[in-house]
């Protein structure tokens, strides 16, 4: 399903708070990715705070809010990742981003692996954004 079949639904149906939740979702994406980059770079520089309890809990809170906003948008628009393939692809890319992010912050065995994982994670999140903005599994 392409963007023309999804976009009119969002525009034609007056869903309460849709705009607010979408705006919140986009801002939480920016917060989550920005915080991830800060944590990854700090961890790669040898700082211990990115692995500390406060840093991890803040990450969980932001990501839980992000997931809640995203799921709310799916529900409001009646989207199904098995039907809208671009949405299914975003879920797959999200899993890859989480795994790469874990290696970028702590699981990479050395600095080279952690840096490569950071680059991969940022490429995956960029692809997720492109897929989302185009509502297409092939956004190029």
User: In this structure, what DSSP letter does residue 49 have?
Assistant: G
Is position 130 within any domain?
A: yes
Q: In Å, how far are 23, 33, 46, 98 from 113, measured between CA atoms?
A: 35, 19, 14, 15
Q: What is the pLDDT of residues 68-96, one digit of tens each?
A: 999 999 898 889 988 999 999 999 999 99
State which residues form the domain around 119.
Answer: 3-134
Q: What is the pLDDT of residues 20-52, one digit of tens each?
A: 999 999 999 999 999 999 999 999 999 999 999
Is position 113 within any domain?
A: yes
Residue 105 has pLDDT above 90, yes or no: yes
Rounded mean pLDDT of 57-77? 94
Element (H, E) at 29: helix 18-44
Is position 22 within any domain?
A: yes
57 close to 49: Cβ distance less than 8 angstroms: no
Residue 13 has pLDDT above 80, yes or no: no
Burial category of 31 from C-beta neighbours within 10 Å (exposed 0-12, middle 13-18, buried 19 and up):
middle
pTM of the predicted model as reported, rounded to 2 decimal places: 0.85
Specify the number of domains making up the chain. Answer: 1
């Amino acid at each position: 399903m392409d963007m023309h079949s999804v976009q009119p639904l969002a525009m034609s149906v007056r869903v309460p708070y849709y705009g607010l939740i979408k705006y919140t979702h986009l801002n939480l994406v920016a917060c989550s990715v920005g915080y991830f980059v800060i944590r990854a770079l700090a961890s790669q520089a040898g700082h211990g705070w990115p692995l500390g309890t406060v840093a991890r809990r803040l990450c969980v809170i932001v990501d839980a809010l992000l997931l809640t906003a995203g799921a709310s948008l799916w529900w409001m628009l009646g989207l199904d990742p098995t039907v809208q393939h671009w949405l299914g692809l975003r879920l797959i890319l999200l899993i890859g981003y989480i795994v790469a992010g874990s290696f970028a912050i702590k699981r990479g065995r050395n600095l080279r692996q952690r840096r490569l994982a950071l680059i991969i994670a940022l490429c995956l999140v960029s692809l997720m954004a492109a897929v989302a903005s185009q509502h297409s599994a092939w956004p190029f």
